Amino acid sequence: MSFGAVQAVLFDLDGTLVDSVPDLATAVDTTLVEFGREPAGEARVREWVGNGAQRLVKRALTGSMDGEPPAALFEQAFPRFLEHYGRHLSDRSRLYPGVAEALATLRAQGLALAVVTNKPERFVAPLLSALGIARDFAVVVGGDTLARKKPHPAPLLHAADALGAAPAAALMVGDSRTDADALNPFGYTFRIADGAVVIDQPYTNPQSVIDSFSETYLRTARSYLASADVRANGTLFSWQGRDVQAAFGAEYRHEDLRDTRPPYHGENPPDSGLDPTNNDFLLHPARPDVIGDRDVLSAYGEVVVPLVTPAQSWPMLYSMEVSASA
C-alpha cells in the first residue's frame, strides 16, 4: 500500500473514529431535566453534534440548530453538561468497526497521526485511552486547545505543524461539512453528496468516500470446484502375448468463482463524476468484480500397450508400457 506524498493523517473524533452520541445524549438529557426541560433523546442529539460542546448545549436548550438561548441560562447549563459528560465519558461510546485496524495499518506505513476535534480537550485523551487508541496519536487538538476551532483552519495547520508535516502532505479524515470546510487551506475543494463529504481536489487528485474504515480493506472472494468421475477399464485384446488395456470415462465439473469488493475500495466511486481509475489511495489496480461459474462435461479414453512384461523382463528393466489418451 502506498500513500505517495502523504506524511500525516488528521482525524476528527466524534462521528469519525468514535460513536460517542450515546454518552453525549445522556449528559444532554440529564442537563435538560435538571433545568426543567424534557429530555431530547439520542436520535435528536445525534443531529446536533459536530460543532463543539457549546453549540451542542445551545441546540439542546433551544431545540434549534442555530438557536441562541438566554446568556444566563447557557452560563448555568454549560458547566453542568460538562460535569455530567465527564462522569459518563465512555460508558457507551464505541469505536466504529475497523478503526483500530485502520490506525494500526497507517502507523505501520510510517504515517504520523493526530486527532483534531471540536470536543473540549480535557475529554479527548481520557476517551482515547478508554477506547484503547491513545497510543496511536502523536498530537491531540481539542476544541479549546487554540483560540479558534474547526471549521477555522488553525487547528489543522497546528496539528500538521506539530507532526512535522507540510499542509500539502497532511490529510484530514472527517464526517461533516465542518471537517470539509477546514480542508480549504490545504488546497482542497469539496462538495456534499448524499450527506457525505466528497473531496474533489486533494493534494494531487481525488480521494473517494468510504462508509467505514474496515470497508477500505475488505475484499470477499470464494472459489470451489465440484466434480464426479465415472471410469471403466479392462483388456481390449491380446497382442504377442501381451494384454492391451483400455479405459474410458466421463467427468462432470461445476466451478464457481466470486471475487467481489465493497462499493468504495480505494478508487473513486463510479457515480462521483471523478476518474474511477485515478486515486492517490489506490490499494490495488482498478478492476471490476470477477463473478463467474461454469459447467464442464468431458469424456476421455486411454489405451495402454505393454512393451515389456514381468514374464519377458530385460536386465535392469522389469516392465515398460506405452499409453495414449485423449
**Residues with catalytic roles:** 12
> 46 in a domain, yes or no?
yes
Span 42-58, average pLDDT: 88
pTM summary value: 0.58
Whether residue 271 is predicted with pLDDT greater than 80 in this model: the reply is no
> 28 in a domain, yes or no?
yes
* Torsion angle (degrees, nearest 10) of CA 80, 83, 87, 90: 90
Whether residues 12 and 160 fall in one domain: yes
Residue at grid coordinates 474547526 = 150
Cα distance between residue 306 and residue 319, in whole Å: 8
Whether residues 294 and 239 fall in one domain: yes
Nearest to 12 by CA among 156, 111, 204: 156
pLDDT at 177: 56
Whether residues 99 and 192 fall in one domain: yes
User: Residue 69: which pLDDT band, with cuts at 50, 70 and 90?
Assistant: very high
The last residue of one of the domains, among 53, 87, 121, is: 87
Which segment of 8-17, 130-139, 256-265, 285-294 scores lowest on mean pLDDT?
256-265
Cα distance between residue 80 and residue 31, in whole Å: 6
Whether residues 101 and 193 fall in one domain: yes
CATH number of the domain encompassing residue 53: 1.10.150.240
The last residue of one of the domains, among 63, 87, 111, is: 87
Nearest to 158 by CA among 104, 114, 123: 114
Residue type, 274: L
Render pLDDT for 179-201 as a digit per residue (tens, 0 to 9).
555 544 444 444 445 544 455 44
The last residue of one of the domains, among 46, 68, 87, is: 87
Whether residue 65 is predicted with pLDDT greater than 80 in this model: the reply is yes
> 253 in a domain, yes or no?
yes
Residue 99 phi/psi, 5-degree rounding, is -65, -50
> 3 in a domain, yes or no?
no
Q: Tell me the C-alpha to C-alpha distance, in Å, between residue 302 and each of 231, 236, 238, 326.
A: 11, 11, 16, 7
Residue type, 133: I
Which residues are 247's β-sheet partners? 233, 302
Domain count, the chain: 3
> 282 in a domain, yes or no?
yes
Residue type, 209: V
pLDDT at 40: 94
Whether residues 56 and 71 fall in one domain: yes
Whether residues 177 and 115 fall in one domain: yes
Cα distance between residue 88 and residue 50, in whole Å: 19
Which residues does 209 contact at the CB level (< 8 Å), separation at least 6?
Answer: 193, 196, 197, 198, 199, 264, 269, 272
Which residues does 127 contact at the CB level (< 8 Å), separation at least 6?
Answer: 13, 18, 20, 89, 90, 93, 119
Query: For residue 298, what is the enclosing H or E element?
Result: strand 290-308
Whether residues 184 and 166 fall in one domain: yes
Whether residues 32 and 140 fall in one domain: no
Alpha-helical regions (H) of 182-274: 213-217
> 209 in a domain, yes or no?
no
Render pLDDT for 200-212 as a digit per residue (tens, 0 to 9).
444 333 344 555 5
What grid cell was written down for 265?
475500495
pLDDT at 232: 67
Q: How many CB atoms lie within 10 A of CB 117?
A: 30
Cα distance between residue 249 and residue 142, in whole Å: 74
> 69 in a domain, yes or no?
yes
Whether residues 12 and 109 fall in one domain: yes
Which residues does 132 contact at the CB level (< 8 Å), separation at least 6?
Answer: 95, 100
Whether residue 66 is predicted with pLDDT greater than 70 in this model: the reply is yes
Cα distance between residue 100 and residue 161, in whole Å: 24
> 298 in a domain, yes or no?
yes
CATH number of the domain encompassing residue 115: 3.40.50.1000
Three-class SS state of 74: helix
Whether residues 130 and 254 fall in one domain: no
Three-class SS state of 128: helix
pLDDT at 50: 74
Whether residues 192 and 237 fall in one domain: no
Range of the domain at 276: 220-325
Whether residues 298 and 199 fall in one domain: no
What grid cell was written down for 138?
502523536
